[in-house]
Amino acid sequence: MAKKQSWKLDNAALIFPAIQTGSHNMLFRISADFAEEIDQKVLSQALSDVADRFPHFKVRLRVGAFWYYFDPNDNALPLERDVVNPLRRMDFKRQGGYMFRIRYGSNRIAGEFFHSLCDGTTALTFMRTLWARYLYLAGKTEVLPSPERGILDCSHAVSEGELEDAFMKYAERGAGAPRKESKAWHLKGERLSRGNVEYVCLSMDADLLYRKSKEIGVTVNEYVTACIIETLYGIQKTTLSRGEIKVSVPVNMRRYYPTQTLRNFSLYTNVGIDPKCGEYDFLTIAKEVSALLKYKLQPKLMSAQMATNVADEKNVAVRAVPLAIKNIVMHTVYLTASENQFTTNYSGLGVVSLTPEMEKYITGMCFMLGAPRCNSSQVSGLTYKGRFYLTVTEVLKDKSFRRNLAKCFVEKGFEVQIEDNG
C-alpha cells in the first residue's frame, strides 16, 4: 500500500467545499441491481479491500489557512442500508469524516460521492471494482481484474499516475479562455422541503436510441441533450418568460490526455438554443447541439478553459488570500458564473461494460446526480446490457419536466419503463 499522505485538492475539487450549505452538498450516485440478495458481511469485507486500493478515498476534508486539503482517515468505512430518498446532504462528521458512502438494499449496492473526492469516471471505476470484489468474495464467480473495463486489482498498490492532479500537469501555460457567458432561462416553482430530492429513472432500448441518433447524424449524448432541450423549450412556451435554454455537459478530459488519474479530470461546457431566434423543431435542436459540441470540444478550446482555471490557483496573489475570503469569492462566482449560465445539466457515463461473469449477476444500473445548488433539476444517464437508463433528479414539487421528458421519448417511438421515489 502507498505511504499515507496528505493531498491538496485538485483544481476541479476546490469549489465544492466553498459552495456547500447546511442542507446541500454536491453529490452523485452510482448503483447496481443484483440478481440475488446482498450479504452485508461480505460487502463490508469487499469495501475494506477496495478502499485500500483507493487510498485517496480514505481521507477527511481539512481546513487550512489558505486552501482545503485531505488528510488520511482510518475510521470505520461508511457502509449503511439504502434509503428511499438518496443523495440527501452528506454529514462528513457523522460518517467518520469520509466523503463517500456505500449503501446496500436487498438486491442493490450503491455508492454516493462528494464531488471534491472524484468525478463520475473514477467513481464508476471504484464501484465496478467493488461489485467485482463482492461477487468474488461471495463465491458467485471467479471474477478477475479487468483494467480495460475499469475493474482494478485490489492486490496492486495505487500508482503515482493514478494520484496525479492532471489539471496541474496538463494545463498549457499562457493559454486562457473567458468565463463570461450569457444568463440562461430557469425552471421556477415551489421547492420540496429542505434537503429532499425526487428522482425518476427512465429506461429504454439502447440499440433503438443508437439507431435513431445515427439516422439524424448525431451521437447518443447529443440526441439525449436535444430531447432535454426540446422538453424545456415546450415548458418555456407555457410561461411568459423567455431566455436561452442551455444544458451543461461534462467532458471527460482523459479523452484528450494520456493520464491514469483517479482524481477529478472533467470540465463543463454549455450548449443550447435561444428561442428569440425563432421556432425550433427537434431536428434543428439536435443539429445545433451537435455543431456546438463539436466546436466547443476542440482540444485547444478545452485546454484554454483548463488553463484559465489553473491560472487562478497558481496566481501568487490568490494563493496569499485567506481561505475564509476565498470561500466568499468562490461562492459568489459559482452563483453568478456557473449555475446561472445553464438551465440544467446532462452527465452521461456512456456504455458501462462488465465481465461476462459479472453480467450474470448484475441486472441493472443507475447513475444519479444530487440536487443542484441553485437550479431545480439535473439529468444523468448510462447504458448497460442493452438498456439506456436516464435519471432526472429534481427539487421542484411540479413534475412537469420529468413527465414531459418521458413523453418526449415516447413520442419518438421509445417504450419507456419508469421507476421513481416520488
Summarize pLDDT for 46-88 with one digit per residue, the tens.
Answer: 999 999 999 999 999 998 888 889 999 999 999 999 998 899 8
The cell numbers describing 311, all together, are 491560472
The pLDDT confidence band at residue 1, using thresholds 50, 70 and 90, is very low
Higher pLDDT, 360 or 311: 360
The predicted structure's pLDDT at residue 422: 56
- In whole angstroms, give the CA distance from residue 103 to residue 121: 19
**Options 3.30.559.10, 3.30.300.30, 3.30.420.40, 3.30.9.10; CATH of 7-165:** 3.30.559.10
Q: Which of 231, 306, 304 is nearest to 272 (CA)?
A: 231
Pairing outcome for strands 245-252 and 344-351: parallel
Better-predicted residue by pLDDT, 299 or 279: 279
Provide the pairing of β-strand 100-104 with 79-81: parallel
pLDDT band of residue 136 (cuts 50, 70, 90) is very high
Under the banding of pLDDT at 50, 70 and 90, the label for residue 4 is low
Task: Name the CATH superfamily for 198-347+371-420.
Answer: Nonribosomal peptide synthetase, condensation domain (3.30.559.30)
pTM of the model: 0.94
Per-range mean pLDDT, top range of 143-152, 163-172, 397-406: 397-406
Indicate the DSSP class of residue 407: H
Report how far residue 184's alpha carbon sits from residue 273's, in angstroms, rounded to the nearest whole number.
Answer: 10
State the pLDDT at residue 146: 82
For the record, the C-alpha cell of 248 comes out as 451543461
Per CATH, 7-165 and 198-347+371-420 having the same topology is answered: yes
Which range of 277-286, 332-341, 368-377 scores highest in mean pLDDT? It is 277-286
CB atoms within 10 A of CB 401: 23
Confidence at residue 310, expressed as pLDDT on a 0 to 100 scale: 85
| Higher per-residue confidence, 174 vs 295 | 295
> Could you please report the per-residue DSSP string of 108-130?
EEEEEEETTT--HHHHHHHHHHH
- pLDDT number for residue 142: 75
